Amino acid sequence: MTAGHLAVIGLGPGDEELLAPLARRMLDDATDLFGYGPYLARVRGAPGAVRHPSDNREELARARAALALAQSGRRVAVVSGGDPGVFAMASAVFEAIEAGPPAWRALPVEIVPGISAVLAAAARLGAPLGGDFCVLSLSDNLKPWPVVTRRLRLAAEAGLVIALYNPVSRARSWQLGAAFELLRQVLPPDTPVALATAAYRQDESLRLHRLRDADPGGADMRTLVIIGSAATRIIDRPDGGSWLYTRRDVPD
Amino acid sequence: MTAGHLAVIGLGPGDEELLAPLARRMLDDATDLFGYGPYLARVRGAPGAVRHPSDNREELARARAALALAQSGRRVAVVSGGDPGVFAMASAVFEAIEAGPPAWRALPVEIVPGISAVLAAAARLGAPLGGDFCVLSLSDNLKPWPVVTRRLRLAAEAGLVIALYNPVSRARSWQLGAAFELLRQVLPPDTPVALATAAYRQDESLRLHRLRDADPGGADMRTLVIIGSAATRIIDRPDGGSWLYTRRDVPD
């Protein structure tokens, strides 16, 4: 039997100009492509490749199906937007391997990194991640909401810049407002807050607020939220635009 | 006068296969290349491009020189390993702009994201960033050591996976051991700890420890350290290797 292979591939922000050549080569080489339907539809692969779209609440089932096909000898690619290791498919694949048949542990599995949503959003805004930062998911699908609020509070107390994935979803709309409310109890009201939606895509939208009037209504499922630290600054430009950046130094 | 341009470009882990096509195009287009000597020496650019190497403790002076040249009409590229926004040159460029002549605020500045060291290390290890995580610099060049230890403690108490940049330097060797000592007071002794050095390069080295016997001696300036959370697991493979990953879920 031909040895199969599983690659978990980061697509980056979606623009082919930001897709690593390694990822492009692995996509072209795959016999089978797995992924969330809308991501999969945008991916270019080999002409004969079989596509296996699935819903974004079915990550573990998708991982198992991809592993079983790799085990049968196929060259399988599982795709994720951004980086596959950040709130995406790589972790689900290893969960499936750990709970699956022992033979899956011998499969060649390659994680192909990509430019994550947080790095893409930061680049378009300026350099808001210039100091220490954290990356949190605001979803309470996989962890209890009190864990989310505790992490937010401790991260703010630690002086970290906070990047939020999954600020809203079809089923959830109140969490981002609750997060802003909580952070107003810890951080100064003029703390910069950015909402970056669809960075590097045609419908990109970048909004800068201060925490006192940060508006959760501007966020959707494709939005990355960045809350600054005491070292985060806004530079206004003559054309009316602004850059957001965090100084590298923390004073005594 | 021709309008100049400044691009701050992420080189990713160093392998051309992981360099975004956008970054390659901007490098080829630059008339002048600025960066830390050893990074700059590895970069391919246009044949006639002028190279301006400098030391890695001169970021602000390098940023000012690059901005002045862009202001004079040149197409300038400032390069950073990994992503330019993560403990790298993008923040220094905006610091220089904020403190510099007003005309610099009108310059076209583009930040070109790259695959950061933490994403590269994570991909080679498995999926250790599968849950909430933070990215801290262990350097006390730009912030007081008590700020570093406070952030480490709060991040561990928050249950975040912790990724450490700058674990050691020529001038510093004791900080990583002190960080492990501190974390042993907060986290279980069997917490997984990974030292990933030179990910995706020919002399790559990946080491897995448990916190109880994590060895700071294995780290150098090119090492990225990842300390797991309670959800981080090690999967042993039949060939003697291991995968490190963090589960997506946090139990009640």
Residues A134 and A202 in one domain: yes
Q: Residue B23 CB: number of other CB atoms within 10 A?
A: 26
Of A84, A115, A146, which residue sits at a domain end?
A: A115
**Least CA distance to A234: which residue of chain B?**
B98
Q: What is the CATH number of the domain that holds B56?
A: 3.40.1010.10
Residues A143 and A241 in one domain: yes
At A56 the pLDDT is 78
Q: What is the CATH number of the domain that holds A148?
A: 3.30.950.10
Residues B103 and B143 in one domain: no
Q: Using an 8 Å CB-CB cutoff, list chain A residues near B114.
A: 115, 119
Region for residue A26 given its phi and psi (left: phi exceeds 0; alpha: psi -120 to 50; beta: otherwise): alpha
At B141 the pLDDT is 86
| Exposed e or buried b per residue across A39-67, where buried means at least 16 C-beta atoms within 10 angstroms of its C-beta | bbeebebeeebeebebeeeebeebbbbbb
Task: Give DSSP secondary structure letters for B157-190.
Answer: HTT-EEEEE----SS--SHHHHHHHHHHTTS-TT
At A2 the pLDDT is 59
Residues A144 and A206 in one domain: yes
Q: How far is CA A65 from CA A32, A70, A92, A152, B116, in A?
A: 11, 9, 12, 35, 30
Residues B137 and B234 in one domain: yes
Q: Are B79 and B92 in contact (CB under 8 A)?
A: no
Q: Is the pLDDT assigned to residue A3 strictly greater than 90? A: no
Q: Are A247 and A224 in contact (CB under 8 A)?
A: no
At B3 the pLDDT is 76
**Least CA distance to A236: which residue of chain B?**
B105
Q: Is residue B201 part of a domain?
A: yes
Q: Choose the closest CB to B238 out of A105, A154, A249.
A: A105
Question: Residue B151: which domain range?
Answer: 118-246
CA distance A230 to chain B (A): 13
Residues B107 and B122 in one domain: no
Task: List CB contacts of B48: < 8 A, sequence separation 6 or more.
Answer: B31
Q: Are B23 and B95 in contact (CB under 8 A)?
A: no
CA distance A245 to chain B (A): 6
Strand (E) or helix (H) holding A121:
helix A117-125
Q: Is residue A153 part of a domain?
A: yes
| Exposed e or buried b per residue across B55-73, where buried means at least 16 C-beta atoms within 10 angstroms of its C-beta | eeeebeebbbbbbbbbbee
Q: Is residue A99 part of a domain?
A: yes
At A251 the pLDDT is 74
Q: How many domains does chain B have?
A: 2
Mean pLDDT of chain A: 95
Residues B81 and B133 in one domain: no
B81 touches chain A (CB under 8 A): no
* % of residues, chain A, pLDDT over 70: 99
Position with higher pLDDT, B218 vs A187: A187
Q: Using an 8 Å CB-CB cutoff, list chain B residues near A122.
A: 85, 111, 113
At B2 the pLDDT is 59
* % of residues, chain A, pLDDT over 90: 89
Of A60, A80, A115, which residue sits at a domain end?
A: A115
* Bridge partners (DSSP) listed for residue B126: B244
Closest CA to B42 of B198, B181, B151, B240: B198
Q: Is residue B251 part of a domain?
A: no
DSSP-derived 3-state class of residue B207: strand
Instruction: Examine the predicted complex and report whether its ipTM is higher than 0.95.
Output: yes
Residues B186 and B212 in one domain: yes
d(CA B164, CA A132): 10
Q: Phi and psi at residue A7, in whole multiples of 5°?
A: -115, 135
Q: Is residue B72 part of a domain?
A: yes
d(CA B193, CA B214): 7
Q: Choose the closest CB to B83 out of A17, A87, A119.
A: A119
In order along its 252 residues, chain B shows pLDDT tens digits of: 557 999 999 999 999 999 999 999 999 999 999 999 988 988 999 999 999 999 877 899 999 999 999 999 999 999 999 999 999 999 999 999 999 999 999 999 999 999 999 999 999 999 999 999 999 999 988 899 999 999 999 999 999 999 999 999 777 779 999 999 999 999 999 999 999 999 999 999 999 999 999 999 989 989 999 999 999 999 999 999 999 999 999 876
Strand ranges of the sheet holding A161-165, from the earlier edge strand across to the other edge: A205-210, A192-197, A223-227, A161-165, A133-137, B133-137, B161-165, B223-227, B192-197, B205-210
Of B115, B139, B161, which residue sits at a domain end?
A: B115
Strands A133-137 and A109-112 turn out to be unpaired
Closest CA to B97 of A244, A208, A133: A244
Q: What band does A177 get if pLDDT is binned at 50, 70 and 90? A: very high
B109 CB burial (10 A radius; 0-12, 13-18, 19+): buried
Residues A12 and A105 in one domain: yes
Q: Is residue A252 part of a domain?
A: no
Q: Are B223 and A68 in contact (CB under 8 A)?
A: no
DSSP-derived 3-state class of residue B147: helix
For the ranges A17-21, A175-179, A225-229, B36-40, the lowest mean pLDDT is seen at B36-40
Name residue, tokens 């909580």.
A182
Q: Is residue B38 part of a domain?
A: yes
Closest CA to A56 of A81, A23, A25, A26: A81
Closest CA to B165 of A132, A152, A138, A184: A132
Q: Are B133 and B125 in contact (CB under 8 A)?
A: no
Beta-sheet strands, E only, within chain B:
5-10, 32-36, 50-54, 75-80, 109-112, 126-127, 133-137, 161-165, 192-197, 205-210, 223-227, 232-236, 242-246
**Which A residues 128-147 touch B at CB under 8 Å?**
128-137, 142-144, 147
Q: Are B11 and B81 in contact (CB under 8 A)?
A: yes
Residues B160 and B126 in one domain: yes
CA distance B152 to chain A (A): 9
Q: Is residue B252 part of a domain?
A: no
A227 CB burial (10 A radius; 0-12, 13-18, 19+): buried
Span B175-212, pLDDT tens digits:
999 999 999 999 999 999 999 999 999 999 999 999 99
In a mutational test of the A interface, the residue from B83, B98, B140, B242 whose CB has the highest number of chain A CBs within 10 Å is: B83
Residues B133 and B221 in one domain: yes
Residues B170 and B133 in one domain: yes
